[in-house]
Amino acid sequence: MQILDGIKLAKEIKQEIKSSVEEAVSQGKRPPHLAAVLVGNDGASQTYVNNKIKDCEFVGFKSSLVKLPNTVSQTELIEEIEKLNNQEDLDGFIVQLPLPSQIDQEEIIEAIDPKKDVDGFHPENFGKMALDMSTFLPATPFGILEMLERYEIPTKGKHAVIIGRSRIVGRPMSILMGRKDFPGNSTVTLTHSNTENLAEYTQHADIVITALGVPGFLKADMIKEGAVVIDVGITRVDDDSEKGYSLVGDVDFENVKNKASWITPVPGGVGPMTRAMLLKNTLLAYKSNIR
């Protein structure tokens, strides 16, 4: 078993982005600028957004945080988005999900200018992704592709089984893994919570990508010997540690690691790659050079 080290790779990518920013700034250009919209005070969302802002500082981006109360209305939120759409010196922004229940999430995502949608969530960008066109790729699937490429994991013609069909991870991952123009070019099966006999698919997979959010779901007897295992799941599980919780993936790591050829740890696998790819998308927006 070998570890796919997301922390190390993300550091390399951030270093590359930092050099690119330094070069632009040394030529007298303004630095790239990313904004995040955070609604309410969900602990996990606050942590994610704070981390994104720290990442911006590291690579030399300007960052802005727009904090709105949990009670914000649909109209107020759309007004904030319009301001960001029209802000000249802003390259991209994200609206951290999930949003409170009074908000229509789809309408919010559609209000974002696709050219500033560095999450790649806008239906226009999602459609372009599915049609092999140049666009922002959603950060988590993009990070997984980058990881497979940099570790030189063979994917062409391989059977990739994805567990979970979310709009952020599973669905775009299934599309990207099947595209010819990326590390991918795989034969893809998209499984989900209603799949019957799910293990029959995963047992035949060369690559398993789990994004289900069920701690320890993927057991050793569900994979074949030598499979590549990518764990996107990250669930807070209460325990008696100092923090009061730990972060647990979808994979029963201790047992699966003995059977897998490559495996991502949680934390320290996919998460840092997601963060790095948001920066990469912002840099692409800045250079108006989307992939």
Q: What is the DSSP string of 115-154?
A: GGBTT--SHHHHHHHHTT-S-PPPHHHHHHHHHHHHTT--
CB of 188 closer than 8 Å to CB of 177: yes
Residue 166 known to bind ligand:
yes
Whichever of 97 and 130 has its CB closer to ligand GUN, that residue is 97
Does residue 52 carry a catalytic annotation? yes
Q: Does 135 bind ligand GUN (CB under 6 A)?
A: no
Q: Which is nearer to ligand GUN, 192 or 257 (CB)?
A: 192
User: Could you give the 3-state DSSP secondary structure of residue 3?
Assistant: strand
Q: How far is the CB of 119 from ligand GUN (least distance, A)?
A: 5
Burial 23-33 (b: 16+ CB within 10 A, else e): ebeeeeeebbb
Instruction: Return the range that interacts with ligand GUN (CB under 6 A); candidates 65-73, 88-96, 246-254, 264-272.
Output: 88-96
Write down the residue that tokens 């997984």 correspond to: 144
Q: Does residue 66 touch ligand GUN according to CB under 6 A?
A: no
Of 141, 108, 143, 109, the C-alpha closest to 125 is 109
Number of Cβ within 10 Å of residue 51's Cβ equals 14
Instruction: Report yes or no: 138 and 168 within 8 Å, Cβ to Cβ.
Output: yes
CA distance 107 to 78: 9
Active site residue 67: no
Q: Please identify, among the stretches 94-102, 153-161, 204-212, 262-270, the one whose residues bind ligand GUN according to the rule CB under 6 A.
A: 94-102
* 53 near ligand GUN, judged by CB under 6 A: no
The binder of ligand GUN chosen from 139, 147, 162, 260 (CB under 6 A)? 139
Q: Which listed residue (10, 38, 63, 96) binds ligand GUN by CB under 6 A?
A: 96
Q: Across the chain, how many H-helices and E-strands are there?
A: 10, 11
SS3 content of the chain, % helix, strand, coil (to 5): 40, 20, 40
Active site residue: 55, 119, 206, 250, which one?
119
Q: Is 176 in the site for ligand GUN (CB under 6 A)?
A: no
The smaller minimum CB distance to ligand GUN, of residues 97 and 247, is found at: 97
Q: Is 164 annotated as a binding residue?
A: yes
Active site residue 119: yes
Choose, by CB under 6 A, the member of 90, 95, 256, 266 that binds ligand GUN: 95
**By CB under 6 A, is residue 97 in contact with ligand GUN?**
yes
Q: Residue 60: what residue type?
A: G
Site for ligand GUN contains 56 (CB under 6 A): no
Choosing from 91, 96, 117, 128, the catalytic residue is 96
Ligand-binding annotation for 233, yes or no, is no
Q: Is 144 in the site for ligand GUN (CB under 6 A)?
A: no
Q: List beta partners, residue 53.
A: none
Q: Which residues on adjacent β-strands are paired with residue 39?
A: 68
Q: What spatial distance separates the first Cα and last Cα of the chain, rounded to whole Å?
A: 33
10 binds ligand GUN per the rule CB under 6 A: no
Q: Check binding of 125 to ligand GUN (CB under 6 A).
A: no
234 is in an annotated binding site: yes
Binding site for NADP(+): which residues? 164-166, 234
- What residues act catalytically? 52, 96, 119
Give me the residues that bind ligand GUN (CB under 6 A), please: 94-97, 119, 139, 168
